[in-house]
């Protein structure tokens, strides 16, 4: 299993760490090649001497493992962007050249074919095709992402495995329909995560419902955006109604979700399957999020567990927030339905069960091929 673990915290490495520490370790003999760069979010997808050195180090480590051990499977989460895929592609090529182990890739975002491969240039497209050649399984996060590898991996080898998270609490909190509504946002604060759209929509709502509050938590990879956010809050006279936190974990995160009545996530970040939406559902929060972004429309059932909106449309976001304020009983029912949906489909145990089944299936196919090769040679 080749991949990074937190810190810094973002969806794909949180998922990888949870998978790595799960029952996968009991079901299979796992070797982890750690590709972590524990510096801040500012370094994601940036090229500097440190991450070049880490990439070279990881490639050498993998080569040594392939030359000194026999593997039944190589699992690589891949990124739809350069230079990250340059490293991931080298991992796949080395595994193909120096091992007979089948290769499984896992895509945690959307846009691999249309926004990455098609825009990569002639040499880039050749490299991507070469790296993915012979891939036995390509995992995507939802049915809406099945075409991510169109023309690059045979359709029958593309499989859907929805994300999952560890159950954070046994029971969600009981929410009071009479108290002023608290909206919340949690996630890394990139511009395309929709934080400014959320603030502008909240300002509209606040003019009609001055008692409501908004809490925002996450890391700031974009200092200009941080300044813009704080200026907007000041200029809109929202200092008493908007609370900004840094990244919250552990007990702070639990309190953050306990204090929240509605989770708002108007992202247009090329999301695959945001884990934070599952966290909100696990805490019994209804979700307002993006109607055409990644697998979000598969996870959030419109008008049952939340409301789906155009993330760039301030009026739509504001209207959804106002509906939540004006319909307290329905809002609470949405949160309960979201928690039920989480328990049925999106726990980490459910995800791990699917992943172990997939890994074993790939290994069994490999063993069948090897037996057939031995029989053919004997004949």
Is residue 167 within 8 Å of 282, Cβ to Cβ?
yes
Helices marked H in 209-327: 223-235, 250-259, 275-282, 296-299, 314-326
pLDDT value at residue 185: 98
Same CATH fold, 182-345 and 2-165+348-378? yes
3-class SS of residue 216 = strand
Closest CA to 321 of 179, 163, 239, 198: 198
Which sequence spans correspond to the domains of the chain?
2-165+348-378, 182-345
Torsion, CA 27, CA 32, CA 35, CA 37, rounded to 10: 90
Domain 182-345 CATH assignment equals 3.40.50.2000: yes
pLDDT score for 9? 85
DSSP state string for 93-139: HHHHHH----EEEEE-BS-IIIIIITTSHHHHHHHHHHHHTT-SEEE
Whole-angstrom distance, CA of residue 128 vs CA of residue 85: 8
Alpha helices by DSSP H, 116-247: 121-132, 195-208, 223-235
Evaluated on CA atoms 269, 273, 277, 279, the torsion sign reads negative
Per-block mean pLDDT, blocks of 10 residues, the chain (379 long): 92 93 96 91 74 92 97 96 92 96 95 92 96 97 95 96 95 94 96 97 98 96 94 97 94 96 96 95 98 96 98 98 98 98 97 97 94 85
Query: What architecture does CATH give domain 2-165+348-378?
Result: 3-Layer(aba) Sandwich (3.40)
State how far the alpha carbon of 360 is from the alpha carbons of 35, 93, 353, in Å: 24, 22, 11
CA nearest neighbour of 300 among 334, 252, 349: 334
Please tell me whether the overall predicted TM-score, pTM, comes out greater than 0.85 for this model: yes
Q: Are 164 and 347 in contact (CB under 8 A)?
A: yes
Q: Which residues are CB-neighbours of 188 under 8 A, at least 6 positions away?
A: 9, 10, 41, 218, 219, 221
As given in the structure block, the two tokens for residue 94 are 């080395």
Q: How far apart are CA 184 and CA 15, in angstroms?
A: 22
Burial of 113-139, coded b for 16+ CB within 10 Å and e otherwise, reads: beebbeebeeebeebbeebbeebbbbb
pLDDT of residue 43: 67
């Amino acid at each position: 299993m080749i991949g990074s673990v937190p810190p810094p915290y973002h969806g794909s490495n949180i998922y990888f760490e949870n998978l790595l520490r799960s029952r996968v370790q009991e079901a299979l003999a796992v070797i982890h090649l750690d590709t972590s760069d524990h510096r801040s979010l500012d370094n994601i997808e940036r090229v500097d001497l440190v991450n070049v050195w880490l990439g070279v180090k990881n490639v050498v480590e993998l080569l040594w493992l392939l030359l000194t051990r026999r593997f039944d499977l190589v699992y690589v989460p891949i990124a739809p962007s350069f230079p990250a895929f340059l490293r991931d592609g080298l991992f796949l090529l080395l595994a193909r050249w120096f091992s007979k182990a089948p290769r499984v890739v896992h895509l945690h975002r959307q846009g691999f074919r249309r926004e990455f491969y098609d825009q990569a240039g002639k040499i880039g497209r050749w490299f991507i095709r070469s790296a993915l050649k012979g891939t036995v399984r390509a995992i995507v996060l939802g049915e809406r992402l099945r075409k991510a590898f169109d023309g690059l991996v045979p359709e029958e080898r593309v499989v859907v495995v929805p994300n999952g998270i560890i159950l954070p609490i046994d029971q969600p909190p009981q929410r009071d329909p009479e108290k002023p509504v608290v909206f919340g946002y949690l996630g890394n604060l990139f511009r395309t995560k929709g934080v400014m759209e959320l603030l502008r929509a909240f300002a509209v709502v606040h003019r009609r419902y001055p008692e409501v509050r908004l809490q925002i938590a996450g890391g700031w990879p974009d200092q200009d955006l941080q300044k813009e956010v704080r200026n907007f809050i000041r200029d809109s006279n929202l200092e008493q109604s908007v609370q900004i936190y840094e990244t919250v974990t552990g007990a702070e995160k639990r309190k953050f979700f306990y204090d929240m009545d509605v989770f708002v996530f108007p992202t247009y970040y090329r999301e695959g399957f945001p884990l934070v939406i599952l966290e909100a559902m696990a805490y019994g929060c209804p979700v307002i999020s993006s109607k055409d972004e990644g697998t979000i429309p598969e996870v959030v059932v419109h008008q049952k567990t939340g409301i789906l909106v155009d993330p760039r449309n301030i009026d739509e976001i504001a209207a959804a927030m106002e509906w939540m304020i004006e319909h307290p009983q329905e809002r609470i029912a949405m949160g309960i339905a979201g928690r039920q949906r989480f328990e049925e489909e999106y726990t980490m145990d459910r995800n791990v069960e699917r992943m172990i089944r997939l890994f074993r299936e790939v290994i069994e196919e490999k063993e069948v091929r090897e037996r057939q090769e031995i029989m053919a040679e004997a004949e």
